[in-house]
Structure 1
Amino acid sequence: MTVQPEEFHPAADFPPGTREDWRRLALGVLRRSGAEVDSPEEALAFTTYDGVTLSPLYDAADLPGDPGVPGAAPFIRGVRAAGGALSGWDVRQRHADPDPARTREAVLADLENGVTSIWLVLGDGGLDPAALPQVLDGVYLDLAPVVLDAGARTAEAAEAFLRLAAERGIASAGANLGADPIGLRAATGTAVPPAGAVELARRAREVPSVRAITVDATPYHDAGGSDAEELGCSIATGVAYLRALTDGGLTVEEAFGQIEFRYAATADQFLTIAKFRAARALWARVAEACGVPAHGGQVQHAVTSSAMMTGRDPWVNMLRTTLACFGAGVGGADAVTVQPFDARLGLPDTFARRIARNTQSLLVEEANVARVVDPAGGSWYAERLTADLAGKAWEWFQEIERAGGAEAALERLVPERLAATWARRSRNIARRRDPITGVSEFPHVDERRPAREPAPERPGGGLPRVHYAQGFEELRDAADRAEARPVVFLATIGPVAASTARASFAANLFQTGGIATVLSGPSTDPAEIAEAFRRGGTTVACLCSSDRLYDEHAAAVAAELRRAGARKVWLAGKGEHEGVDARLYAGCDVLDVLRTTFDDLGVTV
């Protein structure tokens, strides 16, 4: 029998590969595809909204330096030194139903079925703080941490919670009173003096395992901001709180111990992983500058992005939140909130909350995602992306500091920067470079969405709150309101094989705005196609075929469609043909096409 060597090298019989080998092979493939390029790295690279270049290939030379070890400064690899199934992240569920009885029932159901902490929205758009004893009746505060989110009524809610804990004679482990005056101003425009947050911090330091302050960075994300912009704003806010707390009598160490951070997690799993790792690196750098590097372990709460959630085809949100939860967990978040898939439709029902918490249970207990500390550590791509993102965020933080700090920057600098990023993102969404499954791609025009009780309006007045799908969803709503669903006629010229690809492309494009499509049937006879158009009951047509058949028939078909009453004739492709008004093609402004079509069909948006 063959005796295996003690050391087995599976690649031993293959020649070593080099970056130059890859460049030569990649360049050959690109040129055979028709691309005239000299650098495959440049041709295949992608740039994020922060200006970070994502390369197609990484190797050991891309490592930015030693990221340290888990549980030690600079905490890039996590604030815990060991993993394990029993020490996974905190599964935190959010509750915003203003009905105390229903909220109590939902809270108890969550805690009995995998949730380990509760996030309560109080005040305007949530529960009355006076209802806390009723809502938390039956909740073991020493076992289930409670995080408050009460906005302008934070002091009232915190007082009610601390009084409740004192009456029960127990310590509320891991609770957070949720003071965030700068975040409140960002979200609502309401200016609240930081003195109240300082007073809560003084009280909280006397209660073991209770924090007073949450740096909520999600308003910057929800305004359309980038990852580095969200991070930079959060660090600037955290630094502002450190100054206020130390000026108010807390030591630097105590001040660091009172602050928790909340970030959005998106379906871009690698950027989410890098964001949470970068956030810890940034906060550790602040702690080092303050002379307390050992206290720089950032406490992180991840919540799946509200901006990425869709009201249309909401079932796809289950997939988005699963990816976001995975990214946050792998990135090392201490607590994760998965928003129910129906969050855009109103108050989540029992089924939606169950799916949300089971998403986390599956990842923690079945997929064992929490068993390993920092599984992305050592990845050339993840380490480089973490460092690059942290660098961009630090530059933005410094710009905010030069403008006078987090509060002063909210006057003009932050809103203008976020608006510029949202404008760039909106252009990419409109052109489907940032696709949204079920909305801008593969829409279900005749979907029947689940009905939900309306959720209370969240206070506004600060930074705008956007949803990536809002442009398409506004048009879908308009199409649904119309007396009859708007229709576009697809003139398929020639055999099915010649027209199917572009007809499918055009149908998908128009359906993203709720516009139905009808096909002419394969033909090259202009009169036959025009007769089918008359039966279609519309005034807008789109030619669909191959470039060769366009050259032979497009002008004649367009002319016949005009005589049949067509007000607008589109063409799926990029050729110039007589009688054609405009073209549809990959990368065109789909929202502009849809709005134009609505105008041509007389549909009010």
Structure 2
Amino acid sequence: MTDISTMKNRAFPVPTYEEWKQEVEKSLKGKPIEKLYSMTYEQLQLKPIYTRHDLQSLSIEQYPGFSGYVRGTEPDGYVQKPWAVSQELSASSPQEWNEIAKHDIARGQTEIHFVLDRLGFSVTTLEDVETMFSGIPLERYSLRVDAGASSLPFLALFTAYLQKEQLPVDALRGTVGMDPLALLVQNGELPASLENLYDVMADVTKWAREHMPNVRTIIVHGEPYHHGGANAVQELAFAFATAVEYMNESLQRGLSVDEAATRISFSFAIGANFFMEIAKLRAARLIWANIIEAFGGSEEAKKLNVHARTSYFTKTVYDPYVNMLRATGEAFAAVVGGADSLHVSPFDEAIQPADEFSRRIARNTQLILREEAHMGKVIDPAGGSYYVETLTAQVAEQAWQLFQQIDAKGGMAKALEEGFVQAEVEKVAKQREHHVKTRKEKIVGTNFYANVAETSVKRTNGIARTSSEQSLDEERIAELKAGFSEKKWLETALYAAANRATAQEIMEAMKGNDSSIAVQSIRQWRLAAPFEQLRQAAEVCLEKTGRRPTVALINLGTIPNHKARADFITGFFEAGGFAVVKNDGSMSTEEAVAGALALGESHYVVCGTDESYVDAVPTIAAELKKAAPHVKLYVAGKQEPHVEETFVQAGVDGFIHIGSNCYETLVTVMNEMGVALDE
């Protein structure tokens, strides 16, 4: 009996690359295969096929859990320890947050996660902390607290709470971290000098070594760069340049390499380019291992801890349920890439604070990946893919080169002061923005397949932050400053917190007399924002005048002759919230002109075949402009230069085609109509 391998080889002969290439070029009708190559925002050329040959020059280890850790830091992946379901929680008060946290951890959340600056209220007093964590069994869940520029005020209040409740401080696990450079990138300034913040970082880390051995104290965010438009290479390079700066500052303040490295948690945004995001997380582990090896750190210190959050940058205000699909794809990439914890964006993130429904959908997205898609049962599913392994190596190499450029400039803070980082991000951001505006980058429901019948969306700017400002006790601030001057940061703050000092008083005392750094911030935006501005302007127009900005089609001939271009123009204008008046086509120029004049609109677009345009367009333009000189007439489709010149002389105002800048064209038309864009 023929064995399986023999039968397989007979049934499925392995084609050579040259055979495959010949077949492809045959289907391309003789065009070279290079026509299928594409370039990413990282300036990496993607090929249509990858083979074993592509891996021959790559030195990537073959097994998960082995040094280098490209395939994960654990030999068994998620089999024994799944990723943490770490949904960020916010509320309008400590009591509401407590109720939400209890509700969500009872329904599958495995890590308690919040960002102080996005909570919706200030964690000011010991009573606030007591209310937040009342009845929550902290020993059963890991904790992830993003404390912004400084973790000192919160950590002092939180530790005072644990001590008051006689809860074991050393049993706590997770992250209570600070990232001053991330806040600097977003705001352009800091609440205290970098010197003081680095002192706090080192002091908190030393204290945690003794009292909270399972808690990380430093967070390095890649999100401010991603949400500014950066590519994957830039996000990695800037994050690791930040981490190295924190390492160096910690070493100067008496920490060892291992003590600093094992206290760092990285946080990356996961965007829409599925394979690029997988490669990014895999490359991140390789880069970190190389950095720690250069520092002389241990094998344990080389293991990257990474939190992932699906991208805010890719989410839309309009057609928001599509965000569920976007977040699912991004979450899938994060899991395949090997994230240790994950936050999935609620679908209404760009519109309003998450409610119970949107939180549930986001949380269940993770649970379905884990429980129903069985993502935790396969160890590094991307491992061995010729494409992913090649992309991983390329991303790592490019990120390392950019990281070295920043290092040569004296580190991340100096690169930010110089404006180098901001300029690099803005270059890519402008490319992305141009591609969105020209619709080369498609956003479903926004610049493509827009639904103008969608109910108007009123966007809010997050939870209205409740104020709990209290008068500052100047005597207590003076006492804090005295302790801080001796570099006893946490010891002083903890004593003060136990004696009812507030977070504001601790932060005020931290400021000191040193001048704080100031840089140009990186704008945080979303890809859909330009078209959302147009949609909102159209809706304001509807509210004020009773109708949307409107264009009318002048369709020539039967439906098959004009449908393709009529559909294109309809989608083109609906992306800006316009109403489009359609018809089944005119059989003569007289009928076309009469029909247009009967509508009484200010803007028209002729749709038909190039052949029908030759005689019809000049006549329609001349007659229409003669009867209504104020109207604007556009033609759908790009024409030969001499034809366009003839049409323009006849009265045509412009041409709209696949190469047009959709956003700029719509802005022009709105301006012609007197529709305000800035209301």
TM-score (norm 1): 0.94
Residue 110 of structure 1 deviates from its aligned partner by 1.1
Residue 533 of structure 1 deviates from its aligned partner by 2.0
1:196 and 1:78 mapped to 2: Cα distance?
32
1:293 and 1:74 mapped to 2: Cα distance?
12
Partner of 1:195: 199
1:82 is aligned to 2:68: no
Residue 402 of structure 1 deviates from its aligned partner by 1.0
CA contact 2:149–2:179 (8 Å) conserved in 1? no
2:669 and 2:258 mapped to 1: Cα distance?
61
Residue type at the aligned position of 1:471: P
Q: Which of residues 103, 113, 117 in structure 1 aligns to 2:111?
A: 117
1:243 and 1:152 mapped to 2: Cα distance?
18
**Structure having the larger proportion of residues in helix:** 2
Structure 1 runs (4+) deviating above 4 angstroms are 449-454
Partner of 1:93: 87
1:164 and 1:334 mapped to 2: Cα distance?
28
Partner of 2:654: 582
SS of alignment partner, residue 210 of structure 1: strand
Partner of 2:262: 257
Partner of 1:43: 35
Partner of 1:525: 588
CA contact 1:341–1:356 (8 Å) conserved in 2? yes
1:177 is aligned to 2:176: yes
2:356 and 2:597 mapped to 1: Cα distance?
49
Residue 145 of structure 1 deviates from its aligned partner by 1.6
Residue 532 of structure 1 deviates from its aligned partner by 2.5
Residue type at the aligned position of 1:111: I
Residue 8 of structure 1 deviates from its aligned partner by 5.4
SS of alignment partner, residue 88 of structure 2: strand
Q: Which of residues 121, 145, 150 in structure 1 aligns to 2:147?
A: 150
Partner of 2:217: 212
1:177 and 1:138 mapped to 2: Cα distance?
20
Identify which range, 539-548 or 334-343, moves more after superposition.
Answer: 539-548
Per-residue CA distance 1:440-484 (angstroms, 9 max, x = gap):
1100112125667651489x9832111101110101110000122
Residue 125 of structure 1 deviates from its aligned partner by 6.2
Greater RCO structure (CA 8 Å; 6+ sep): 2
Larger radius of gyration: 2
Identify which range, 433-442 or 101-110, moves more after superposition.
Answer: 101-110
Partner of 2:22: 24
CA contact 1:300–1:334 (8 Å) conserved in 2? yes
1:248 and 1:153 mapped to 2: Cα distance?
17
Change (3 A) 1:528 1:293: farther
1:174 and 1:283 mapped to 2: Cα distance?
22
Q: What aligned pairs does 1:442-481 form with structure 2 within 5 A after superposition?
A: 442-448=449-455, 454-456=461-463, 462-481=521-540
Per-residue CA distance 1:466-524 (angstroms, 9 max, x = gap):
11011101011100001220011111111001111111111001000001101132113
1:200 and 1:346 mapped to 2: Cα distance?
35
1:87 and 1:427 mapped to 2: Cα distance?
43
Q: What aligned pairs does 1:324-339 form with structure 2 within 5 A after superposition?
A: 324-339=330-345
2:269 and 2:282 mapped to 1: Cα distance?
13
Residue type at the aligned position of 1:118: I
CA contact 1:267–1:324 (8 Å) conserved in 2? yes
Residue type at the aligned position of 2:46: L
CA contact 1:520–1:533 (8 Å) conserved in 2? no
Q: What aligned pairs does 1:289-300 form with structure 2 within 5 A after superposition?
A: 289-292=294-297, 294=299, 295-300=301-306
Residue type at the aligned position of 2:216: R
The unaligned stretches of length 5 or more in structure 2 are: 466-518
Partner of 1:12: 10
Identify which range, 530-539 or 570-579, moves more after superposition.
Answer: 530-539
SS of alignment partner, residue 376 of structure 2: coil
Identify which range, 560-569 or 91-100, moves more after superposition.
Answer: 560-569
Change (3 A) 1:450 1:8: farther
1:512 is aligned to 2:575: yes
Matched residue pairs, number?
596
Change (3 A) 1:546 1:66: same
Partner of 1:134: 131
Residue type at the aligned position of 2:427: A
Partner of 1:568: 632
Per-residue CA distance 1:556-589 (angstroms, 9 max, x = gap):
2233332343632222211134133222222321
1:415 and 1:6 mapped to 2: Cα distance?
58
2:81 and 2:412 mapped to 1: Cα distance?
35
2:62 and 2:153 mapped to 1: Cα distance?
42
CA contact 2:350–2:459 (8 Å) conserved in 1? no
